[in-house]
Structure 1
Amino acid sequence: MSSPEPTIAADPGHPVANGGSNKTGNGTIPNGSNKTGSNGSIPNGSKKTESNGTTVPNGKKSSSPTAASISGALHKDLITRGVYKSNPLGTSTFVGLRALDPLLQFGLLGGSGLSWGESILSRLGIPAIPFIDHALTTTPDIDISSTILFPSSPSLSPTSLGGLLGLPTPRLIIFLMATGSSLKQIFWLLYTSREEFTPSAAITVSAYNTLVNSLASLLLIAIPTSASLAPSRISIPLPVVGTFTLPLPMAIGSALYISGMSIETASEVHRKKFKDKPKNKGEVCTTGLWSKARHINYAGYTLWRTGYALAAGGWIAGGLVAAWHVWGFAYRSIGLMDEYMSGRYKEKWEAYKKDVRWKLVPGIY
């Protein structure tokens, strides 16, 4: 998910497209080169780095762009590629900020009697769906069904799906998506990530995710944009609790969200298990979902972000978010990662590219 475009760098769920680098204990770039000093020179005085990132040994310009390409990729990325060490301050900052996000979304969605979202929309002159109307099957004042017909079981009240949270079903769905995104990203940093995550990266990533999630919460409760007011419905039978009728954007968005989360998490866990085996040191992970597309975790991230936006703001919001992420990955992140991986794995990466032609979406791109 440098000083990156938030769409790309802001999700810590996709720090490495595939493979990663061998561990280094001193924080230097793990290709055998020395770390560049603050004055742009190599400490041993035999090399220096030009402003364009080209390494010049003994005053001569390097004929190979590989080092410059990798350096450029590293400095444009939030993740310090190839630097394998923990950063307690960065980790604690990220975990703390991401853990706070669901609490903010809960307030924006009107939980516990809070009405932060409605207050913000009111100041912007945008009409909001009253909390009580989202907890009923119809909203006579705007003559549109609230789109969530609650369980057919008469023993369940309109807000019972929210349990102790007390949220109507549309708001509960979006709240659960916010919570899921936080838990997934915390899991990524504490378990699947191997590279350093600095405090500045933690703040940038957290701020972006909180901003996007907050916009989704506001889209849901705003009358002009809410997916919960979509006229198209789909009935979903659930065991024990009965049948739910959901607006089509929320149903499809939920499916995309679950699918994307599953793809991104499964691919990253598989890669971690692959890299943890000593025999795979220096190898590119080409099995599992990585045999389908070279940046399959990016595809998973795009899916769940699209589903989140679709479930909150409907077709337009979902389409814009999908286009934004596909553009960002296709024209920025994938190129940067390809440069890095080509420099690190050389012929192994080139062979992988020949074997797995799809970059992002199997069979499409």
Structure 2
Amino acid sequence: MSAEGNTQDPRSEASKKRDLIARGDHTPTPAGKVTFFILRGLEPFLQYSTLAHGLGTSAFHRLGLRTLPPGPPSHTGIALIDGLGLSPYRLVLLGMSIGAAVKQNIWVSALSGEPMPVGGAVAVGAFNAFFNSVSTYAFLLTATSASTRSNFPQPALIIGSSLYVVGILTELMAEIQRKRFKSDPRNKGKAYTGGLWQFARHINYGGYTLWRAGYAMAGGGFMLGAVVGAFFLTDFAARAVPILNEYCEIRYGAAWEKFKRDTPYRLIPYVY
């Protein structure tokens, strides 16, 4: 069922069209969720092919751009990891791709009750592949790479990885907490305001913004991290948060107004 045809969603048609999720709709969409799961599971192989074998870099070379040499492979003592043949820096970037895929597949298979049509699954898969590839290619190109020094780890990788870990764990933990609350029949019709959500009304969006910025920073340095972080922060602030706020105001009424008074931050505690 589309957002336009969802009778459980009391918002205006304009808001429904701008939202990416059919709020209040729990129509089963097994084909779409399986498609999502498969596409997200395959995407790290794309990043590995690029990091290990330079997939697509010939196009940059034809433009006169240079890419980094492979670098010495990692020696962790774990055959599966060492067999990848990736340098420590590239291994971290691949790990970020895998972590994002795992997190999002947990979400679609166990945490999200809303529909996931096949077309939406393909679009989300392409969206994630694009942004992950931006970070990967930014790292490989000498003109944009965050790996500008011989020492390891480097500042952009340390800070970017920290943002990534904090952001992705925040998003996942917040969604698990909300799922547990919503699964209790006694909480039917109530907004979840506990756990991590007491620090920001849309803490899951804030977590997503942080890990996306961290991933980009690890690949392309502080400037790319700032650009990607600003992109998602702007999108959430200008589109996702207002349309979700409209839904919650109508659905939860006075309880939502109290939550807004008690929790002034929207995305990132003490920041925004």
Q: State the TM-score, normalizing by the size of structure 2.
A: 0.92
Q: Tell me the equivalent position of 2:211.
A: 304
Counterpart pick for 1:202 among 111, 117, 121 = 121
Offset of residue 335 of structure 1: 0.5
- CA RMSD after TM alignment: 1.8
CA contact (8 A) 1:117 1:221 kept: no
Distance in 2 between residues matched to 1:279 and 1:204, nearest whole Å:
36
Equivalent position SS for 1:317: helix
Q: Which residue of 2 aligns with 1:160?
A: 75
1:300 is paired with a residue whose SS is helix
Structure 2 segments unaligned to the other structure (5+ residues): none
**Higher fraction of helix:** 2
- What is the number of equivalent residue pairs in this alignment? 266
Q: Secondary structure at the match of 1:160?
A: coil
Once the two structures are TM-superposed, the CA of residue 325 in structure 1 deviates from its matched residue by: 1.1
* 1:138-149 superposed matches below 5 A: none
How far off is 1:201 after superposition? 1.1
Q: Please say if 1:188 is aligned against 2:95.
A: no
The TM-score normalised by the length of structure 1 is 0.70
Distance 2:219 2:188 in 1: 43
For 2:173, give the aligned amino acid: A
Runs of 4+ in 1 over 3 A off after TM superposition: none
Q: What is aligned with 1:119? A: 58
Cα distance in 2 for partners of 1:230, 1:317 equals 17
Distance 1:358 1:109 in 2: 38
Q: Which letter does structure 1 place at the counterpart of 2:128?
A: N
Distance 1:191 1:123 in 2: 45
Q: Which amino acid aligns with 2:8?
A: P
The corresponding residue for 2:148 is 229
Larger-gyration structure (1/2): 1
Alpha-carbon offset, residue 349 of structure 1: 1.1
- Which residue does the alignment assign to 2:164? 257
Kept in 2: contact 1:83–1:196 (CA 8 A) = yes
Corresponding position of 2:7: 29
In structure 1, the residue corresponding to 2:153 is in which secondary structure? strand
* Unpaired runs of at least 5, structure 1: 3-26, 32-66, 136-157, 234-244
Maintained 8 Å contact 1:250/1:310: yes
Q: By percentage of residues, which structure has more strand?
A: 1
Once the two structures are TM-superposed, the CA of residue 117 in structure 1 deviates from its matched residue by 4.2
Q: Counterpart of 1:102?
A: 44
* Alignment-mate amino acid for residue 207 of structure 1: A
Q: Match for 2:74: what amino acid?
A: T
Report if aligned partners of 2:36, 2:125 keep a CA contact under 8 Å in 1.
Answer: yes
